[in-house]
Amino acid sequence: MPGYSPVNHKMLQVPVGPGQEVYSKRGAMLAYTGAVRFAPTTTAGGGIGGAIRTTMAGESTPLMHVTGQGSVMLGHHGLHVEVVDLQGDTLYVEAERLLVYDASLQSGTMFLGEQGGLSGVIRGQMTGQGLFTTTLTGHGSCALLSHGGVVQLPVQPGRAIYVDPQAYVAHRGQIQNKLHTALGLRDLIGRGSGEGFQLELTGQGVVYVQASERKF
Amino acid sequence: MVRVLSVAQFRMNGSRMLAVDLRGETIRALNGSMVAYEGQMQFKRQGMTGGEGLMGAVRRRVAGESVTLMEITGQGTVYLAHEATEVNLVPLQGDTLLVESESLLALDGQLRTGVQFTGLRGMTTGQGLATTKVEGHGTVAILSDGPAIALEVVQGQPLSVDPQAYVAHRGQLQQDFVTDVNWRTMLGQGSGESFQLRFSGHGLVYIQPAERGEGLGAEV
């Protein structure tokens, strides 16, 4: 069964068949061929517990379950689409930046406080990311949305990467992240450089960064 | 003995993201345009004068120029981008680049900036009365909505461009303003191409494949 194939930078063709079902952002379907069904879902394969967690987390991006036999074209708001293939590792991504993912991937929600405790909570508030982030684990594909496309920056031990929270899209691998502040007197009086907060990513893995500071 | 000046290395990371390798040099960049960095970096907003002296600050204030730059110093690599617009690198070897202030993403710390009054053009394009003048040796990164193209202007063949698509120009160029306003324009039946910038002389003009927002030119 072929995988996801980009039509262009902003449209993705996803094959659907028996054993190859996907979850997609609700309303992102642009066209389809074949006998494809779209069912709204709140559990997204995570079970009731997952649904409760998701609701509590305020990760309220609605999803739909795409089944049947055929091919679906997906796109959202003219944003760039980037396909990420997972081989047993975990991707951390904000729910609203997820266009589509294989149903074979396990999705979950991670409380930011689990990573960094109180500062994780503060980080979520400061960066407007919310307190929870979505995790995808297993073997399969998913597609990320970004404004202007993403670049991958490798994170290695001893080589930390600092990212503007608004330009951060996702990361994978064994990565710790915490909020890094470089606030000075100038920021307090409104004459800062606009770079007061960054996410500091350390460990081993890859971080996806978009070429824009715009959230959507 | 030749003194080697270390110059910050500008390189593209895709068409919309600029990567600059720094080894202690200073560059200037649009405030808030950093998307990621590695290594040690300091970000400092430029002071009131922005390296242009008191007169420069006064001129900027008079011209209503409000583009703020920050200084970036450090060891490592800094990644810059702005609103997913395309980035174009322009190397300068002692010549002068005139660029729309809002199209400036980053420039080498050794380049000097100043204000150039543009007169009527600024009023029609809604850009204010001035553009930024960059001169010296080093690289300038300019932003364009869609990939920019450079058009060559030679003696005896003036080039006219839409003020809203104009991004920058360099070389020995005179610019003047061409209007084609007639009774149809007044009735709101114009073709939308009533104002043009005409460049004559010898040099390069950079334009973008998009027309910037509001202004007199957009209305008539």
Q: Does A160 touch chain B (CB under 8 A)?
A: yes
What pLDDT is recorded for position A156?
A: 94
The CA distances from residue A22 to A25, A165, B149, in Å, are 10, 29, 42
Cα A36 to Cα A41: distance, rounded to the nearest angstrom: 15
Both tokens assigned to A156 = 């290695």
Question: Do the Cβ atoms of A159 and B38 come within 8 Å?
Answer: yes
What pLDDT is recorded for position B128?
A: 55
Query: Is residue A65 predicted with pLDDT exceeding 70?
Result: yes
- Find tokens 């494949």 and name the residue: B209
pLDDT band with cut points at 50, 70 and 90 for residue A84 = very high
Cα B86 to Cα B5: distance, rounded to the nearest angstrom: 29
In chain B, beta strands by DSSP E: 9-12, 18-30, 34-45, 69-80, 86-99, 104-108, 112-117, 130-144, 149-153, 159-161, 166-179, 195-207
Rounded to a whole number of angstroms, the distance from the CA of B31 to the nearest CA of chain A is: 6
Q: Which residues of A touch B37 (CB under 8 A)?
A: 161-162, 198
* B16, B43, B71 member nearest A182 (Cβ): B43
Both tokens assigned to A101 = 């993912």
Q: What whole-number percentage of chain A has pLDDT above 90?
A: 53
| AA letter at B170 | R
- Find tokens 């003048």 and name the residue: B133
Nearest CA in chain A to B82: A212
Cα A128 to Cα B57: distance, rounded to the nearest angstrom: 35
Segments in chain B forming alpha helices (H)? 53-63, 120-125, 183-186, 216-219
What pLDDT is recorded for position B215?
A: 41
What pLDDT is recorded for position B211?
A: 85
- Which residues 6+ apart lie within 8 Å of A47 measured at CB? none
What pLDDT is recorded for position B50?
A: 58
A·B CB contacts under 8 A: 86
Pick A188 or A159 by higher pLDDT: A159
What pLDDT is recorded for position B100?
A: 86
What pLDDT is recorded for position A115?
A: 55
pLDDT band with cut points at 50, 70 and 90 for residue A64 = very high
CA A212, B43, B96, B145: dihedral to nearest 10 degrees? 10
What pLDDT is recorded for position B218?
A: 36
Mean pLDDT by 10 residues, chain B (220 residues): 65 93 93 92 74 66 69 94 94 92 90 78 57 91 94 94 90 84 68 80 94 50
Q: What is the rounded average pLDDT of the residues A137-146?
A: 95
Both tokens assigned to B173 = 């160029």
- Find tokens 């690599």 and name the residue: B77
- The number of residues in chain A equals 216
- The number of residues in chain B equals 220
* A153, A194, A214 member nearest B36 (Cβ): A153
Question: Do the Cβ atoms of A193 and B14 come within 8 Å?
Answer: no
Q: Residue A2: beta bridge partners?
A: none
The CA distances from residue A72 to A15, A24, A26, A31, A44, in Å, are 6, 10, 13, 6, 18
What pLDDT is recorded for position B120?
A: 58
Interface with A, mutate which of B13, B15, B21, B43 (most A CBs under 10 A): B43
DSSP 8-state code for residue B80? E
The SS3 of residue B131 is strand
Interface with A, mutate which of B38, B41, B86 (most A CBs under 10 A): B38
**Which of A40-49, A80-89, A181-190, B160-169 is modeled with the greatest confidence?**
A80-89
- Which residues 6+ apart lie within 8 Å of A98 measured at CB? A25, A61, A134, A136, A142, A143, A144, A145
* A149, A182, A213 member nearest B14 (Cβ): A149
Cα A19 to Cα A16: distance, rounded to the nearest angstrom: 8
